């Protein structure tokens, strides 16, 4: 674990080599969910690194985990800022070129915006439960989570992973439930993605319908869809073996393709 100084903030970063490194393999860069952090990925990045032969690089975005806390409320374009400004700076600072992005939920949306909205080369994108637009089911799920944060042990459980747990939670829930966020949409970025995409979603996702990844398949030119039964909003936790296997197959296709 080390820290990366970036734009007046510090980000916690960890690099995990593969137990079975593949020569010339690109790095996998993991982008966490709206309440996530390095620690909340648990052993999943290492499992994917070992299965693919790629190094796994994981960081907590500004405001999350042990990275610098937020000092101002989020704005409706916060994922665009992360994708188009912060992520390119992170990749440059870590000297990464043409990585494979692996994003979950908000992190998946950030990966899609980056791949379709910047000239920086991306070898491939894996997204799990991404959001392309705001659905009613997402807002209903967030309202239930807000209630759980106030009335159950959810706050205590999240506090194990974040230095500023209240800032993390408010930064996520307040902006998603803000009226100005209702029209948020990234479909234009998805239609501009030139690289292969794998989109994974659980059939029991409590924050989205399957239309989210079906739209990716309609908009982008090269998309593999993985739809998982008995799986909610975190496929890498609910169906970890299936997700690792799917990502390993996708990465193998990318690395074996001479183009």
Q: Which residues contact 13 (CB under 8 A, 6 or more apart)?
A: 1, 2, 3, 4, 38, 57, 58, 59, 94
Q: What is the pLDDT of residue 131?
A: 98
Alpha-carbon gap, residue 185 to 25, rounded angstroms: 33
All structural domains of the chain:
2-256 (3.40.50.1820)
Percent of the chain whose predicted confidence (pLDDT) is above 70: 99
**Taking phi first (over 0 means left), then psi (-120 to 50 degrees means alpha), and beta for anything else, what does residue 206 get?**
alpha
> With 90 as the cut, is the pLDDT of residue 238 above it?
yes
Distances from the Cα of 3 to the Cα of 59, 103, 188, 258, angstroms: 9, 20, 34, 36
Residue 229 exposed, middle or buried by CB count within 10 Å (0-12, 13-18, 19+): exposed
Q: What is the pLDDT of residue 7?
A: 84
According to DSSP, the β-strands at 197-202 and 124-128 are: parallel
Q: Which residues contact 70 (CB under 8 A, 6 or more apart)?
A: 62, 63, 164, 167, 168, 171
Give the model's confidence band at 259: pLDDT under 50 very low, under 70 low, under 90 confident, else very high.
low
Q: Using one digit for the tens of pLDDT, what is the confidence trace for 86-113? A: 999 999 999 999 999 999 999 999 999 9
Give the model's confidence band at 257: pLDDT under 50 very low, under 70 low, under 90 confident, else very high.
confident
Q: What does the angle CA 75 – CA 97 – CA 257 come to, to the nearest 5 degrees? A: 115
Q: What is the pLDDT of residue 258?
A: 58
Name beta bridge partners: 226.
200
Tokens 């000239």 belong to: 119
* Helix (H) or strand (E) segment spanning residue 147: helix 136-151
- What is the mean pLDDT of the segment spanning 55-68? 98
Q: Using one digit for the tens of pLDDT, what is the confidence trace for 5-31? A: 998 899 999 999 999 999 999 999 999
């Amino acid at each position: 674990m080390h820290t990366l100084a970036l734009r007046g903030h510090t980000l916690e970063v960890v690099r995990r080599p593969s137990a079975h490194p593949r020569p010339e393999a690109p790095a996998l860069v993991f982008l966490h969910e709206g309440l996530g952090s390095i620690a909340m990925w648990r052993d999943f990045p290492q499992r994917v690194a070992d299965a693919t032969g790629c190094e796994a690089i994981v960081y907590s975005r500004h405001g999350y985990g042990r990275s610098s806390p937020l000092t101002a409320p989020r704005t409706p374009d916060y994922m665009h800022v992360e994708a188009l400004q912060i992520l390119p700076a992170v990749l440059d600072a870590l000297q990464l070129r043409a990585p494979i992005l692996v994003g979950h939920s908000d992190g998946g949306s950030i990966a899609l915006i980056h791949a379709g909205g910047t000239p920086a080369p991306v070898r491939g994108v894996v997204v799990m439960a991404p959001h392309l637009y705001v659905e009613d089911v997402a807002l209903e799920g967030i309202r239930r989570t807000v209630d759980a944060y106030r009335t159950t042990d959810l706050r205590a459980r999240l506090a194990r992973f974040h230095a500023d747990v209240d800032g993390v939670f408010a930064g996520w829930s307040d902006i998603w439930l803000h009226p100005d966020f209702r029209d948020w949409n990234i479909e234009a970025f998805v239609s501009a993605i030139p690289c292969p995409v794998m989109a994974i979603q659980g059939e029991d996702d409590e924050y989205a319908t399957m239309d989210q990844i079906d739209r990716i398949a309609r908009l982008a030119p090269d998309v593999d869809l993985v739809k998982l039964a008995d799986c909610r909003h975190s496929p890498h936790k609910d169906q970890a073996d299936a997700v690792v296997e799917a990502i390993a197959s996708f990465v193998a296709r990318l690395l074996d393709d001479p183009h």
